Amino acid sequence: MSFTADRLLLFGATGDLAQRMLLPSLFALDADGLLAPDLKIIGTARSEMSDSEYRNFARAALEKYLPADRRGRMAEFMNRLAYQPLDATTLEGYDALAGKVGTPERGLAIFLSTAPSLFGPTIKGLQSAGLTGEHVRMCLEKPLGTDLATSREINDAVAGAFPEHRIFRIDHYLGKETVQNLLALRFANLMFEPLWNAAHIDHVQITVAETVGLEGRVAFYDDAGAIRDMVQNHMLQLLALVAMEPPAHFDATAVRDEKVKVLRALRPVASNETVTGQYRAGAIGGQAVPGYDEELGKPSDTETFVAIKAHVDNWRWKGVPFYLRTGKRMPRRVTEIVIQFRCVPHSIFAGPKSKGGGATMQPNRLVIGIQPEENITLSLMAKVPGLDREGIRLRAVPLNIAMPDAFSGAVRRIAYERLLLDLVEGDQTLFVRRDEVEAQWEWIDAIRAGWAADGQTPRTYTAGSWGPSAAIALAERDGVTWHE
Ligand code: BG6
């Protein structure tokens, strides 16, 4: 049923995500007049706090994390906020929580940003207090399990109280403007789609490189590692958007139907098609940084880098490798997708050997910058100016669209702004469906099982480098160079 919620209940309201992302996003939406005037936001967490103490807490978070150009008047936003302490593991406090939520006029959206171990007890508590009815939506933040089995447990627990059309699973990459723009690029332009297949594309690269290290997330990260933290969700979603067939509509069913087909077509990865790494002390931007084991305070086999050569076994992508890599402590922060086209079938500019063999051709390349640069660059061959007595010379030149220039004046929004608004308004298009999550886990579990069977442990790489040299070799043995 479609409704715009007039209550938003945030579990984990004192946590890191709430402070860094959720409160700033809600504030920004409010400042732009995008929240219904009667929307009340109720925070809950274990800490004892009154409403006014929570408002002070929220104000401090906003002062710390809200971009300077998005600051504004706080009073109206603060009036929306209330708080109810809760021990989510016991049923006792849920009636009081329901009392605080009150009776929504239209509906309630619940955002669970807590440890997954609390999902089950929280659902039970919500059920006991009558907070799961048909006017309630449930939004879940990652990690949704650590493998297929645990993700199924979570999904089953949630499905016991909410039907799929009221479950909103976050992958915050889908909230990024540039990720959505991938769909516009592919499906709002005529010129790419006819070429978007194995006949014309040689390979695809997806890189998500970060300069940050462990960031104090010791307990979580060391249990997850790069493949579960980044590939299982964000990178596979990017891959699915690149590889999917055109959906008939931009709506939740059509888009997710197409993505899941891609995820199910992923070929199991052979053991020589992955490389893992863990950073050692090095320097980034001239700044010395410690190794992962030093940050962690003990040795560990957790990978902070992974590169994978993936294949989508379907008609469109037969034989086109998708090279994926992600890592912490890389030389720079960059998320980008590279579409490497094939060479033209015949060069009319090939000259005789005696004249140097003619012009050098380079195949076209489309680079889609997701962050921090939001650029789309298409490399095209052009004639080098001259009288060509030695034959025509060619050079690749970039056709460059800087999105911030093309849309100057447009507000740069945090991914969570879009996702929270979609949650409140009930649009699931940019949320991940259960079958997608499970297809993602199935593929990831098989890779990890392969590592375990082979006793594969991460190779070391120096912080500030692009990962272990084996990752470079993974692409180079196919004649491919990572785009840097
Ligand atoms: C999160 C991961 O999902 O995404 C983090 O848990 C990672 O490890 C983050 O740093 C990256 O997000 P973004 O938006 O900064 O690219």
pLDDT digits (tens, 9 = 90+) for 9-46: 999 999 999 999 999 999 999 999 999 999 999 999 99
Residues 217, 320, single domain; the answer is yes
Is residue 427 assigned to a domain? no
- What is the CB neighbour count within 10 angstroms for residue 68? 5
Residues 182, 127, single domain; the answer is no
Residues 280, 197, single domain; the answer is yes
Is residue 236 assigned to a domain? no
Tens-place pLDDT, residues 247-297 = 999 999 999 999 999 999 999 999 899 999 999 999 999 999 999 999 999
Is residue 450 assigned to a domain? no
Residue 177 has what pLDDT?
Answer: 92
Gap from CA of 200 to ligand 1 centroid (Å): 32
Residue 120 has what pLDDT?
Answer: 92
Gap from CA of 229 to ligand 1 centroid (Å): 8
User: Buried b / exposed e across 417-442, counting CB within 10 Å, b at 16+?
Assistant: bbbbbbbbebbbbbbbbbbbbbbbbb
CATH number for the domain that contains residue 279: 3.30.360.10
- What span, in angstroms and rounded, lies between the C-alpha atoms of 4 and 106? 7
Is residue 158 assigned to a domain? no
Is residue 171 lining ligand 1, measured as CB closer than 6 Å?
no
Is residue 177 lining ligand 1, measured as CB closer than 6 Å?
no
Is residue 141 lining ligand 1, measured as CB closer than 6 Å?
no
Gap from CA of 396 to ligand 1 centroid (Å): 34
Residue 228 has what pLDDT?
Answer: 97
Residues 324, 466, single domain; the answer is yes
Residue 259 has what pLDDT?
Answer: 98
Residues 133, 183, single domain; the answer is no
Q: What angle do CA 329, 332, 334 make, to 5 degrees?
A: 110
Is residue 441 assigned to a domain? no
Residues 324, 462, single domain; the answer is yes
Q: In this structure, which amino acid lies at residue 355?
A: K
311 as an active site residue: the answer is no
Residues 179, 135, single domain; the answer is no
Gap from CA of 256 to ligand 1 centroid (Å): 22
Protein residue with its CA nearest to atom 6 in ligand 1: 229
Is residue 30 lining ligand 1, measured as CB closer than 6 Å?
no
Is residue 229 lining ligand 1, measured as CB closer than 6 Å?
yes
Domain-terminating residue out of 125, 141, 157: 141
CATH number for the domain that contains residue 104: 3.40.50.720
Residues 213, 319, single domain; the answer is yes
State the residue range of the domain holding 187.
Answer: 174-231+272-415+457-476
Is residue 202 lining ligand 1, measured as CB closer than 6 Å?
no
Gap from CA of 208 to ligand 1 centroid (Å): 9
Pocket test for ligand 1, best of 230, 231, 335 (most atoms within 8 A of CB): 230
Gap from CA of 427 to ligand 1 centroid (Å): 23
Is residue 430 assigned to a domain? no
Pocket test for ligand 1, best of 234, 238, 370, 417 (most atoms within 8 A of CB): 234
Residue 369 has what pLDDT?
Answer: 96
Quick one: which atom of ligand 1 is closest to the CA of 224? 6
Residue 217 has what pLDDT?
Answer: 84
In order of 237, 240, 250, 309, 431, the CA distances from 255 in angstroms are: 12, 10, 6, 25, 10
Domain-terminating residue out of 120, 141, 162: 141
Domain-terminating residue out of 141, 160, 195: 141
**E strand segments, 27-68:** 40-45
Residues 185, 309, single domain; the answer is yes
Residue 356 has what pLDDT?
Answer: 65
Residues 135, 209, single domain; the answer is no
Is residue 375 assigned to a domain? yes
Residues 90, 134, single domain; the answer is yes
And the tokens for 110? Answer: 């619940």
Residues of the chain with pLDDT under 50: none
Q: What angle do CA 120, 446, 256 make, to 5 degrees?
A: 65
Residues 224, 354, single domain; the answer is yes
Residue 185 has what pLDDT?
Answer: 96
Is residue 113 assigned to a domain? yes
Quick one: which atom of ligand 1 is closest to the CA of 220? 6
Residue 357 has what pLDDT?
Answer: 67
Structural domain count, the chain: 2
Quick one: which atom of ligand 1 is closest to the CA of 217? 8
Q: Which residues, in sequence order, are CB contacts of 390 under 8 Å at separation 6+?
A: 355, 356
Active-site option among 135, 203, 234, 311: 234
